[in-house]
Structure 1
Amino acid sequence: MDQLIPDYLADLLDGVRDNNEGELPTYIPILAEANPDWLGVTLCTMDGNLHSAGDDDVEFTIQSVSKPFAYALALQTLGLDAVSEVVGMEPSGEAFNAMSLEEEGNRPDNPMINAGAITVNQIINGTGSTVEDRVEVIREFFSRLAGRELEVDEVAVEGEMAGADRNLSLAHMLRSFDVIADEAHDAVLSYTRQCSIKVTIKDLAVMAATLANGGVQPVTGERLLDEEVCHQSLAVMASCGMYDAAGRWMARVGIPAKSGVSGAVIGMLPGQLGAATLSPRIDVNGNSARGVKIFEALSKDMGMHLMSTENRAGSQAVRSITHNGEETIVKVQGLVNFTGAESILRVLSEYDFEDGRVVLDVSNLIESNKMGRRMIKEAMRRLRDEGHDIAVIDPDSELKHRLMDDGEQIPLKK
């Protein structure tokens, strides 16, 4: 039972595994040496449950996926007005490393492009901070977001600084307009060290879930950010997080997201989950080619699109578990989307069913989507395969013919 969602995620990975689109980035040595076949996905729910498949324990440098979290830290410590004085929040319409600023005010367009990210990095811990102190504040905050101690990859820093001419040019431009105060080299070193913090997709899914959860880290329960900070960060990610492909991303996937040249993509469905993928081959827009495909499938299957008209409720889906003779009756309620079905699966997997029949009562469901129904029917199939008789109370045909993946039909309780 516990493997139901990981099995679904593994099927997603298999669906994109033969896709060889994109290339490893060659301008950062450690990324050019990455295994192009790495492939993984992790989901983290609002109550801290992680579901993974593939290469979920591989460590890699966070790169540009660090940008929304650094932006959130700056907003939390300095406030929106102060941060908005030095960086905007509009899509730039240009490449992520473009040498450009707003025509009025000389600010970088947004914190998701390199000029904006360098600027945001420079105001964390105060403009007079040393590189070491600033990076330590960022590393410590990222560690609390992830729920474990994260480290900077010093080899990655050295290799990236050796070829940092473009970012150095950006820093000189920012200094020339008095946007940043540090020497260009120190500014780029600080930003590069931020991007060289090592993470896994499990870390990133939990970090993403923290933003989706209004600033409460779902595993530790620690409040790290105000809700308003999360709203702002998610909004900017929604319009700017996927670079030149941001418009297509919102049309096809429809959730706030951020990509990085290490091959990671994170996404958040507010109030429901955080997700992260890893696949190192990068497309022409700077996004993971297979990662984009995985998120497109997740959005379609789970109804994740923010513009979807589906109800978003789904917590407390199991109303009660009672016994009637040799029957155990599980009553579910409300909306069963992915979040609701995940809650039902967790209860079913943890409950010690005795011999006899397991009856699922769905008569109190308000609504269910395709993914929720699929997960419930698969859970019943697995209970059957574990040796239980199964049945369903479904007066309104909510489970749509009650067909399980193996073609068998869940019998109605008589």
Structure 2
Amino acid sequence: MPEYLDEVLRQCADDDEGALADYIPELAAVDPDRLAVALCMPDGQLYGAGDVDALFTIQSISKPFVYALALMRHGLDGMERFVGVEPSGDPFNEISLEASGRPRNPMVNIGAITTHALAGEEGAAKEDLFEEIRRGLGRFAGRELAVDERVFESERATAHRNLALAHLVRSYDVFSADPRDVVWGYTRQCAVQVDVRDLAVMAMTLASGGTNPLTGDQVVPRWVARQVLSVMSTCGMYDVAGDWMTDVGMPAKSGVGGGIMAALPGFVGAATLSPRLDRTGTSVRGVRIFEKLSREMGMHMMETPATATQVLRRTDEVSLAGGAAHRLQLQGPLHFGSTERLLRRMQEVPTDREVVVVDLGHVTSVNDVARRMLLEGLRRLGADGHEVVLVDPNSALPGRHAEDVAASVVDELPLR
């Protein structure tokens, strides 16, 4: 997986379109060539490539997680009294209000500012409200997160439009706090520092029904995770949400710090970093990376097959004419998620077993990325000195490719 992700970055690295977020002085000074990608699996396994240690500010990617915290406090019906869930079709900083003064959704700035005000106790001091949100973001990430004070001060000095939006919502009595305090906290929320692995874990927490895959912490109930993912699907990418959903097909959120976070329920949390932005404030290379991952790894939510409850039907020792062998008997559909688990089990094959049998007799389907991953796994078993016997009665792997990586391909295992 790290090798594949390196390959993805190499193929997308030459795109230098877009520009830094120059309306925030500190963001205009970041390295424009930073590039990273990370994936988090349902069991917490992390993969990454590129500048995975680079810290950057979370910016608008904080919005779905603070929305989750507000949902916890007010419930679904309660939150919908204050903030809607309909796509605005507008840029992120537009005045997207309904006639009643209710923001159209929590992903545009005017809705996110309102959501920030509602995420804590009524009348809480701005510092206490922010600390509650910072701790909540840390539970999603599985570690404590800090604030980039320089970015915070830079954004606060240029937050005139957000102040205007906050005063506008306050004029409708949607929240009761001082708009200046709300924008102070919202700006600080956006200045929380993360790396791509943090975002991948946060995405996987939503994709796992609210359970953090690293800590096992049930951060939010399943219904909250479902609601957040639903709103991300329709509103997370602002006025290009339709293009994103048709091209990539994953609930997602972008930020002007250069990050994109996406969650495929039950399968994977993913994140990218590349600071050059398009006209919508979204990372140019980040979009390109996600389009490639979706296309090559079968990540589009409208085409992802059901996950096999257990990719390994059985692992045992069998007797062949030539002696003992270690057998991996597979089942169900093979796709990225199930085959990734299989490859890790292949690494545990006993070194004292010269012959390894991989039995595809109970496999129902193999998509393109799973085929590529499985062939590479078989090749590496051979490179480790094992003789690989492939049982493939339904021709799940094309004969020429299978014969390249297996010592023998049979329809039925000749047990002794």
Alignment TM class, shorter chain as reference: over 0.9
- For the residue of structure 1 that corresponds to 2:64, the secondary structure is helix
The code of the aligned residue for 1:354 comes to: D
- For the residue of structure 2 that corresponds to 1:412, the secondary structure is strand
Equivalent residue, structure 1, for 2:63: 67
Choose the corresponding residue for 1:327, options 325, 328, 343: 325
Q: Distance in 2 between matches of 1:315 and 1:52?
A: 26
CA contact (8 A) 2:382 2:405 kept: no
| Deviates most, 202-211 or 294-303 | 294-303
- For the residue of structure 2 that corresponds to 1:403, the secondary structure is helix
Equivalent residue, structure 1, for 2:3: 7
Cα distance change on mapping 1:30 and 1:326 into 2, 3 Å: farther
Q: Distance in 2 between matches of 1:409 and 1:157?
A: 54
- Post-superposition Cα deviations, 1:113-143, rounded to whole Å, max 9, x if no partner, equal 0000000000111231111101110111111
| Deviates most, 37-46 or 318-327 | 318-327
CA contact (8 A) 2:254 2:282 kept: yes
CA contact (8 A) 1:255 1:306 kept: yes
Q: Distance in 2 between matches of 1:203 and 1:217?
A: 11
Equivalent residue, structure 1, for 2:308: 314
Choose the corresponding residue for 1:18, options 14, 20, 23: 14
The code of the aligned residue for 1:153 comes to: D
Equivalent residue, structure 1, for 2:335: 337
- Post-superposition Cα deviations, 1:26-77, rounded to whole Å, max 9, x if no partner, equal 1112211111111111111111111111111111110000000000111112
CA contact (8 A) 1:46 1:273 kept: yes
Determine if the alignment matches structure 1 residue 166 to structure 2 residue 161.
yes
CA contact (8 A) 1:315 1:339 kept: no
Determine if the alignment matches structure 1 residue 37 to structure 2 residue 33.
yes
Cα distance change on mapping 1:373 and 1:263 into 2, 3 Å: same
Q: Distance in 2 between matches of 1:181 and 1:367?
A: 56
The code of the aligned residue for 2:191 comes to: S
Equivalent residue, structure 2, for 1:408: 404
- For the residue of structure 2 that corresponds to 1:137, the secondary structure is helix
Q: Deviation of residue 391 (structure 1)?
A: 2.5
Alignment of 1:72-87 (within 5 A): 72-87=68-83
Q: Deviation of residue 322 (structure 1)?
A: 2.1
- Post-superposition Cα deviations, 1:203-240, rounded to whole Å, max 9, x if no partner, equal 11111101110111111111111111111111100000
Alignment of 1:85-124 (within 5 A): 85-103=81-99, 105-124=100-119
Q: Distance in 2 between matches of 1:187 and 1:198?
A: 20
Equivalent residue, structure 1, for 2:394: 396
Q: Deviation of residue 320 (structure 1)?
A: 2.3
Across the aligned residues of Structure 1 and Structure 2, the Cα RMSD in angstroms comes to 1.5
Q: Distance in 2 between matches of 1:59 and 1:409?
A: 41
Q: Distance in 2 between matches of 1:113 and 1:352?
A: 53
CA contact (8 A) 2:199 2:261 kept: yes
- For the residue of structure 1 that corresponds to 2:376, the secondary structure is helix
- Post-superposition Cα deviations, 1:239-292, rounded to whole Å, max 9, x if no partner, equal 000111100011111111000001111111111111111111111111111111
Cα distance change on mapping 1:315 and 1:22 into 2, 3 Å: farther
- For the residue of structure 1 that corresponds to 2:404, the secondary structure is coil
CA contact (8 A) 2:72 2:220 kept: yes
Determine if the alignment matches structure 1 residue 229 to structure 2 residue 224.
yes
Equivalent residue, structure 2, for 1:154: 149
The code of the aligned residue for 1:192 comes to: T
Q: Deviation of residue 409 (structure 1)?
A: 4.6
Q: Deviation of residue 327 (structure 1)?
A: 2.2
TM-score (norm 1): 0.95
Q: Distance in 1 between matches of 2:350 and 2:239?
A: 51
Equivalent residue, structure 1, for 2:355: 357
CA contact (8 A) 1:243 1:286 kept: no
Q: Distance in 2 between matches of 1:333 and 1:353?
A: 24
Q: Distance in 2 between matches of 1:315 and 1:190?
A: 43
- For the residue of structure 1 that corresponds to 2:409, the secondary structure is coil
CA contact (8 A) 1:68 1:237 kept: yes
CA contact (8 A) 2:68 2:225 kept: yes
Determine if the alignment matches structure 1 residue 252 to structure 2 residue 247.
yes
- Provide the identity percentage: 48
| Deviates most, 63-72 or 272-281 | 272-281
Q: Distance in 2 between matches of 1:136 and 1:384?
A: 53
Equivalent residue, structure 1, for 2:378: 380
Q: Distance in 1 between matches of 2:306 and 2:242?
A: 23
Q: Distance in 2 between matches of 1:91 and 1:232?
A: 14
CA contact (8 A) 2:83 2:104 kept: yes
Q: Distance in 1 between matches of 2:173 and 2:401?
A: 65
Moved over 3 A (4+): none
CA contact (8 A) 1:320 1:331 kept: yes
Q: Distance in 2 between matches of 1:287 and 1:274?
A: 18
Q: Distance in 2 between matches of 1:225 and 1:182?
A: 25
Q: Deviation of residue 191 (structure 1)?
A: 0.1
The code of the aligned residue for 2:185 comes to: S
- For the residue of structure 2 that corresponds to 1:258, the secondary structure is strand
Q: Distance in 1 between matches of 2:387 and 2:378?
A: 9
Q: How many residues are treated as equivalent by the alignment?
A: 406
Q: Deviation of residue 315 (structure 1)?
A: 4.0
Q: Deviation of residue 403 (structure 1)?
A: 1.3
Cα distance change on mapping 1:158 and 1:131 into 2, 3 Å: same
CA contact (8 A) 1:281 1:290 kept: yes
TM-score (norm 2): 0.94
